[in-house]
Amino acid sequence: MGVFRQIGWLIHKDLALQFRTKEMLALIIVFSVVVVLIFCFAFGPIFPEKLEERGKLAASVLWGTFLFAGIITLNRSFDIERANGALHGLRLTGVDASYFYLSKVVSIFVFLILLEVIVTPIALQFLDVLTILPVALQKELPWLLLKLIGVLAIGTLGFCAVGVIVSGISTNTDGTESLLSVILLPLTFPVIMAGAKCTVSLLTTGGLEGNFWISILIVYGLIFLASSSLLFEFVVEG
């Protein structure tokens, strides 16, 4: 079987498992909305007047929410592989570890992007960001949202690249969930910094001021995709 067909089937398997019961998606969406609401209640009902301040608030809410949602998704995804030795069964078919890694990254990425597409407009509305945007930006709102999702997507890819390998490791321990957070969060600090800066700049000016932050996001994603797909072999073997 060709490389792409193998990866394709693995992704198909993961997505089928994730979407067969809608319960998981519903759970994560509700969780994310609740997290957004927590921020709203803590900061609201009158949000900062200045656009930049409100942009920063929106960026922290969005990235914080998706980080926590991402951790839950990762945990859940590896629980399935762990139960009944599914991972060992998969290994017996002779699938290369790096294909398995890439397919996991893609399937979790797809799931999180879907979540972000649904939750981002809700969060922006709750934080009342849309009404105070400059007129020029309000006119091309769909385009702005698309760019915002684009930035979130690049950041999410980096997060998945690290998250999959770390949860592959932590799924073998007892304190899985708390351990995953403790190990994964310090590794994702650059994503938060760069992603939040890009988000603020998009919300205030409609563009990315300089390409530095978006390059950091891309470089981070590439470095960890490459290194982790090489290292994942040891994780599966262990």
Partner 1 sequence: MTRTQLIGLLSTIFLFVAIYFIFSFAEIEMTMLEVQKIFYFHISAAITVFLAFGVTCIFSILYLIKRGDTYDTIALVSTEIGIVFGVVVFTTGPIWARFAWNTWWNWEPRLTSALILWLTYIGYLILRSALAEEKKRIYSAVLGIIGFLNVPIVYFSVELWQGGLHPGTATKMNLPATMQTAWLISWLALTLLYLFLLMFRYRAEQMKLELGTIQYRQMNES
Which residue number, 93 or 173, has a Cβ lying nearer to partner 1?
Answer: 173
CA distance 60 to 58: 6
* Amino acid letter, 20: R
Helix axes 23-43, 97-126, angle to 10 degrees: 40
Asked if 76 and 107 touch (Cβ cutoff 8 Å), the reply is no
**Does residue 193 touch partner 1 according to CB under 8 A?**
yes
Of the pair 127, 195, the CB lying nearest partner 1 is at 195
Which of 90, 187, 208, 218 touches partner 1 by CB under 8 A? 187
* For helices 97-126 and 51-82, angle between their N-to-C axes, nearest 10 degrees: 140
219 lines the binding site for partner 1 (CB under 8 A): yes
Q: Does position 183 bind partner 1 by CB under 8 A?
A: yes
**In the complex, least distance from residue 238 CB atom to partner 1, rounded to whole angstroms:** 4
Least distance to partner 1, CB of residue 194, Å = 6
Start-end of H helices in 127-211: 135-139, 141-170, 176-187, 189-205
Residue position matching structure tokens 């980096």: 158
Return d(Cα 218, Cα 220) in angstroms, integer. 5
Find how far residue 189's CA is from the centre of its chain: 13
Interacting stretch for partner 1, rule CB under 8 A, among 85-93, 107-115, 120-128, 167-175? 167-175
- Establish if 48 lies at the interface with partner 1 (CB under 8 A): no
Cis amide prior to 45 (ω within 30 degrees): yes
Cβ-based nearer residue to partner 1, 119 or 152: 152
Nearest CB to partner 1, comparing residues 113 and 183: 183
Q: Which of 28, 67, 144, 162 binds partner 1 (CB under 8 A)?
A: 162
Retrieve residue 103's tokens. Answer: 């397919």
Integer Cα distance of 13 and 54 in angstroms: 41
Q: Residue from 165, 198, 200, 214 that binds partner 1 (CB under 8 A)?
A: 165
Residues that bind partner 1 (CB under 8 A): 162, 165-166, 169-170, 172-175, 179, 182-183, 186-187, 189-190, 193-194, 197, 212-213, 216, 219-220, 223-224, 227-228, 231, 234-235, 237-238
